[in-house]
Structure 1
């Protein structure tokens, strides 16, 4: 069975975790790790910012496969 893919924007205070379906409409940053602990492991994409390395390590502990090298097109042109 293929793993689902989620994405998260770590630069915001409140955000939505998006996957095959919208998992949570709005979630605060402080509750992000506990939310990921309660959902099935998935491939999780996130931006390549300062918080992404910490978040990637923590998500790996819950069985998720983090992909924290996603950059915007504007960053790729630099």
Structure 2
């Protein structure tokens, strides 16, 4: 696994993704439609993906783990400390990206049975 970290702010229809491209050094902060989310990660080398822990995040964490990515779910309170701008999807994704790189105890990903 490479050391690239990706911050993901999930929403109903559009997800915000934040990372730094390792080849170009470009800061990437872009929207991805829900239908294209898994496709986006299927075409990437395994990486560390951070998300705020919520019901939907557990589903996406299971899917990304199947693809070989490492997923770290974090409590919203932990991520909030890293948000240095106004609260919006792009700022939240950046805060998640910052938080996922810090040492912390992640929230365990629940199985489908545990969520049922």
Moved more, 45-54 or 4-13: 4-13
Residue in 2 that maps onto 1:8: 8
Spell out structure 1 runs of 4+ moving beyond 6 A.
none
Query: The residue matched to 2:37 in structure 1 has which SS?
Result: helix
Assess, with a 3 A threshold, how the Cα gap between structure 1 residues 42 and 74 changes in structure 2: closer, same or farther: closer
Q: How high is the TM-score relative to the length of structure 2?
A: 0.55
Ranges in structure 2 where 5+ consecutive residues have no aligned partner = 22-26, 81-116
Residue in 2 that maps onto 1:52: 57
Assess, with a 3 A threshold, how the Cα gap between structure 1 residues 71 and 37 changes in structure 2: closer, same or farther: same
- The structure with more strand, counted as a fraction of residues: 1
Query: The residue matched to 2:20 in structure 1 has which SS?
Result: coil
Q: Does 1:35 align with 2:40?
A: yes
Q: Greater Rg, structure 1 or structure 2?
A: 2
Q: C-alpha root-mean-square deviation of aligned residues, in Å?
A: 2.7
Q: How high is the TM-score relative to the length of structure 1?
A: 0.77
CA offsets 1:38-68 (integer angstroms, 9 cap, x no match): 1111100001111111111100111110001
